[in-house]
A and B are shown apart, each in its own frame.
Chain A
Amino acid sequence: AQKITQTQPGMFVQEKEAVTLDCTYDTSDPSYGLFWYKQPSSGEMIFLIYQGSYDQQNATEGRYSLNFQKARKSANLVISASQLGDSAMYFCAMRGPYSSASKIIFGSGTRLSIRP
């Protein structure tokens, strides 16, 4: 069975600092996709970044990068130069094999608070 673990329930970071949000996963499937979503206080779920299990390079999207360590089954999100607007809940998630548009399994989330 697939599982996502986020061990940081909450984090406080000073504005303009970089922050790393931890995520580990467990799956027996050789092909899978890893995602990070941001959920601000308004409630919507915003897609941030995606990493495929066969991708050779770590994914990057603007200030977001995913530190993918396949052997350790970790997929940490790195936000560079944090901004006040980054304060939100962040969810790590995993989708099953590429051959199916399967459901996404979410971690419990990390609440990130940026201090001015």
Chain B
Amino acid sequence: EPEVTQTPSHQVTQMGQEVILRCVPISNHLYFYWYRQILGQKVEFLVSFYNNEISEKSEIFDDQFSVERPDGSNFTLKIRSTKLEDSAMYFCASVRGVASTDTQYFGPGTRLTVL
């Protein structure tokens, strides 16, 4: 069964460094998302992406963050100048389309630890 994959599974970085989180959505999906979950808290929406551009972003997704689909398969989240509070689990998700039965499928997540 097709699945969303994410790499790395765990990333440790120093405060102020840049990190790139990578995702490979399900191949026939058209809409892509990043969410984040701070430890012990609920999952929060960051950004949605369709047709090579951002379709919606949350207040969390400020100039520190950027997304890109550099080729036909990868979908990346870049966090510039990381802060301690960026430590969280980051989930990528994708969905095929906008039919009522289309479900967002989540990747296994990347746990980001900022020291």
Chain B residue with Cβ nearest A101: B31
What chain A residues lie within 8 Å of B41 (beta carbons)?
108
Question: Whole-angstrom distance between the alpha carbons of A47 and B105 in the complex?
Answer: 7
Which one, A52, A101, A104, A106, contacts B98 given CB within 8 A? A101
Task: Please give the distance in Å from B89's CB to the nearest CB on chain A.
Answer: 6
Query: Interface digits, B81-102 against A, CB 8 Å rule (1 contact, 0 not)?
Result: 0000000010101010111111
Contact A104 B100 (CB under 8 A): no
Task: Please give the distance in Å from A99's CB to the nearest CB on chain B.
Answer: 6
Contact A50 B103 (CB under 8 A): yes
- State which of A10-18, A37-45, A63-71 sits at the interface with chain B: A37-45
Contact B95 A101 (CB under 8 A): yes
Task: Please give the distance in Å from B73's CB to the nearest CB on chain A.
Answer: 19
The size bracket of the interface on A is 20 to 34
Question: Whole-angstrom distance between the alpha carbons of A42 and B107 in the complex?
Answer: 12
Query: Interface digits, B42-60 against A, CB 8 Å rule (1 contact, 0 not)?
Result: 1111001010000010100
By the criterion of a CB under 8 Å from any partner CB, how many residues of chain B are at the interface?
Answer: 31
Chain B residues 14 to 45 lying within 8 A of chain A, measured CB to CB, are 30-31, 33, 35, 41-45
Task: Please give the distance in Å from B110's CB to the nearest CB on chain A.
Answer: 10
Task: Please give the distance in Å from B96's CB to the nearest CB on chain A.
Answer: 9
Question: Whole-angstrom distance between the alpha carbons of A93 and B101 in the complex?
Answer: 15
Given A45-B106, A45-B109, A91-B42; 18 other pairs, CB 8 A cutoff? A31-B100, A35-B103, A43-B89, A43-B108, A44-B107, A47-B103, A47-B106, A52-B101, A99-B98, A101-B30, A101-B48, A101-B97, A101-B98, A102-B56, A103-B56, A103-B58, A106-B44, A107-B42
A residues with CB within 8 A of B = 31, 33, 35, 37, 42-47, 50, 52, 54, 91, 93, 95, 98-109
**What 10 pairs between A and B have smallest CB-CB spacing?**
A45-B106, A101-B31, A103-B45, A44-B108, A106-B43, A52-B100, A108-B42, A101-B98, A106-B42, A98-B100
B residues with CB within 8 A of A = 30-31, 33, 35, 41-45, 48, 50, 56, 58, 89, 91, 93, 95, 97-109, 111
